[in-house]
Structure 1
Amino acid sequence: MKKKIWIILNQSNFLLVFLSKVYNILMFNLKKTKKNIYINRGAFLRKNKIIITGENNKIILNRGVRLNRCCITMTGNNCTLIINDETYIENLNISFEDDYCEIIIGKKCILNGGNMAVAENKSTIGIGDNCLFSRNIDIVTTDSHSILDKNTGQRINYAKSVFVGNNVWIGADVSLLKGAYVADNCVVGRKALVTKEYHEENCIIAGIPSKIIKRDIEWKPERIL
């Protein structure tokens, strides 16, 4: 029944946007923020917390997005969060700690909890379309603290962006650290620690530290018996 209702809503953009506004008012979700931009194009929010202390930040939730029990924190300025059509996210902590950072999440993704943090100026987390994330996924663009060269006093661990391609399945308890890149159609095994770039598609990546353990694979969300 719920699936049929959702199909009907997706066929009418006006009805979807109207019902999302009514739903969000009833759920006491954030509607406006001073000196920041909040755009809801037909998203449904339930029991979320949105905290913005910076300025000139932008949150864009596109049609059919559903957020459940998430926390979004923006302490920086000029940051952007975009979540695209029909993506479902629950129990995820999203934080922006510095300026000009962005997180862009693609269409028809399912994210089942964890932490996602962009820190240090101009760093990005990008997630492609049709991705499936299990629970307790940790994605960060920074080490949070500074590591210095003892001889020169120069910092050696600046932030690096993190990117995940289209149709990627990430298992439980995976960490994607600064500079991580996962190509399209890959699977990342449970508890893997990903610290580098994998541009080869259709692979299984696993281990601590991670490595490619199998090539030329495809994956589907349904069980095939």
Structure 2
Amino acid sequence: MDSNVSSSSLCDLAERWQVTFPESKLAILPAGSLSIKGVQVIDKGEGNFFLYYPDDISIAAPIRVSFKGNNNYIALGRSGRCNGSRIDIIGNYNKIIVGRNFNLDQNGFRVQGAGSSIVIDSHLTCHAKTFIFAQGGDKHINIGRHCLFSTRINIRTNDGHGIFDLETMKRVNIAKSIVVHDRVWIGEDAKVLKGAIVNSDSVIGAASIVTREVPANCVVAGNPARVVRTGIFWNHSQVLPRGYDHAAYTAPLEDTDL
């Protein structure tokens, strides 16, 4: 563990963010601007931390990490692969967590606001130019295990600009949190927008726009996305491996270890 942060500080972080940090080979980089082992960290604030496992990550192109604000936290889990991605936090008391066994390729992750987060569980594969953006106070994007994201996907909690009612002058396109459950496959150029919930083992068709809840075990497609097939699950292989046990594959895991 990096000597700049004590075990008590690590425990404080674990309690604040409700995640377990195994101390072995964990690098904790507090405040300042630096480059180390394929990661460039730019910190324009106070109380910010970036955590990762420098001896347990394969970096083909540099990862750029930036903080503009205070008391934020970014973590990359163990056994990851990354071909150049950018991770940004703007604001205070935000977090971005990418769980272990990730595979990133020129992706963007950004949180902007206060008390917001992107939390991704283990075994995410995310292809080029996908952008995940949590914006607005107390807005969250939660992504489950074993998800597969194709190229040029947009997942965002906010529209970016306000739309207002002409009579009341109140905003009508309020930011909303997003949940993508375990084992979801999202096709290229798809968009998952504010308030969407995608349940487990479902498939989002290419160029689809998701704005509401998607049931489990179905395929949706179109704009807006609609169910086109039910009673399915997907697999990385086009032919199921011999002895494949779907119940075992979908069984929940109890750990929260990065």
User: 1:153 is aligned with what amino acid?
Assistant: M
Question: Cα distance, 1:31 vs. partner?
Answer: 9.3
Contact 1:32–1:38 (CA under 8 A) maintained in structure 2: no
User: 1:92 is aligned with what amino acid?
Assistant: N
Alignment equivalent of 2:52, drawn from 40, 56, 59:
40
Contact 2:38–2:63 (CA under 8 A) maintained in structure 1: no
- Equivalents in 2 of 1:184, 1:169: separation in Å? 9
Does residue 108 of the first structure (1) align with residue 123 of the second (2)? yes
- Equivalents in 2 of 1:18, 1:159: separation in Å? 35
Aligned residue for 2:234? 219
Alignment equivalent of 1:89, drawn from 101, 104, 109:
104
CA gap 1:79/1:87 in 2 versus in 1, 3 angstroms: same
- Equivalents in 2 of 1:215, 1:69: separation in Å? 37
CA gap 1:94/1:218 in 2 versus in 1, 3 angstroms: same
User: 1:104 is aligned with what amino acid?
Assistant: V
Aligned residue for 1:30? 41
CA gap 1:70/1:154 in 2 versus in 1, 3 angstroms: same
- Equivalents in 2 of 1:31, 1:97: separation in Å? 16
User: 1:110 is aligned with what amino acid?
Assistant: T
Aligned residue for 1:126? 142
Any stretches of 5+ residues in structure 2 without a counterpart? 1-22, 30-34, 241-258
Any stretches of 5+ residues in structure 1 without a counterpart? 1-12
CA gap 1:49/1:170 in 2 versus in 1, 3 angstroms: same
Contact 1:65–1:83 (CA under 8 A) maintained in structure 2: no
Q: What is the aligned-residue RMSD (CA, Å)?
A: 2.3
Richer in strand (by share): 2
- Greater mean deviation of Cα atoms: 41-50 or 70-79: 41-50
Does residue 195 of the first structure (1) align with residue 207 of the second (2)? no
String of CA shifts for 1:132-180, please: whole Å, max 9, x gaps.
1110010110011111111111111110011111011111110001011
Aligned residue for 1:166? 182
Contact 1:31–1:38 (CA under 8 A) maintained in structure 2: no
Richer in helix (by share): 1
User: 2:199 is aligned with what amino acid?
Assistant: A
Contact 2:39–2:63 (CA under 8 A) maintained in structure 1: no
- Equivalents in 1 of 2:150, 2:106: separation in Å? 11
User: 2:172 is aligned with what amino acid?
Assistant: I
- Equivalents in 2 of 1:108, 1:217: separation in Å? 21
Question: Cα distance, 1:122 vs. partner?
Answer: 0.6
String of CA shifts for 1:76-132, please: whole Å, max 9, x gaps.
111101111111111111112211110011111101131111111010111100001
Over 6 Å off, 4+ runs: none
User: 2:38 is aligned with what amino acid?
Assistant: M
- Equivalents in 1 of 2:153, 2:119: separation in Å? 16
Aligned residue for 1:184? 200
Aligned residue for 1:53? 68
